[in-house]
Structure 1
């Protein structure tokens, strides 16, 4: 009505805005609805006298079971394997790099440099394949 310049457009606009203010004022006192029923999973949430201090509660969270201990050992072994693979990767790259430096100092031909570079690329591809297998095993 305001755009069309209808009669009494200001009055209707003010009535609409006052209605909107009244609705927002009333809805401010509404209690929000609970979307999740966490109290079904954690009944302690509904208990007003519940002990929430983890040092005082009698929960079994800190105790490890045989399954979690086996999982921890597997993760430790996996970390050890990844560290070993990293060391192998770095040592191989350093050895090939030093070999290329020696060839350059000795005035090696372009063919030998190309062969050395090809070997380096093959080693990197093989190590990347090992990394891929490790990552697939982790997933």
Structure 2
């Protein structure tokens, strides 16, 4: 296990936290004992400082935290003239009003797309189902029915893939 993966694990974070806290405690204790001119004060101070040096050294191998682009989630963060006082207004009126119209258009387009896919899905299923019924009435063989069932399954899989792609784009 590498140092980076260890520091990223729960045990590594616990170890790092314990070393950091104990090192800080020993530095403070050593400083207090040095001020008081106590015996072994320099030893405590040196142990604490060496622990802190070790902690700062291994912190260089720790993976930095991710920086999130919050302005993509909250576009108001990009607006320099936005009212950010929570007591005055909860939202910037211009941003909400403009965003509302765009949101409504996107929602209507999404609804149209879902309705179109649903109609396509139902029509394909009905066509294949009617073809199977027709084959059975005309004395079609078991192989013909199996082939048409396989086609039906392929069509359903293709339509499910379209639904999956649409859901992936929405997320």
Output the TM-score relative to the length of structure 1.
0.55
Whether 2:160 is the aligned partner of 1:132: answer no
Any residues of structure 2 matched to 1:101-120 within 5 Å, and which? Answer: 101-120=133-152
Q: 1:92 aligns with which of 116, 124, 127?
A: 124
Tell me, yes or no, if structure 1 residue 43 matches structure 2 residue 75.
no
TM-score normalised over the length of structure 2 = 0.45
Runs (5+) with no aligned partner, structure 2: 1-83
Structure 2 distance, partners of 1:134, 1:66, is 25
Distance of 2:116 and 2:166 partners within structure 1? 12
**Match among 108, 115, 120 for residue 76 of structure 1:** 108
Name structure 1 gaps, 5 residues minimum. Answer: 1-39, 45-58
Matched residue SS, 2:139 = coil
CA deviations 1:57-110 (Å, max 9, x no partner) are xx976x953333122111110110000100100010011001000101111011
Structure whose alpha-carbon radius of gyration is higher: 1
Counterpart Cα distance in 2 of 1:116 and 1:104: 11
Aligned residues: 87
When you count helix as a share of all residues, which structure comes out higher?
A: 2
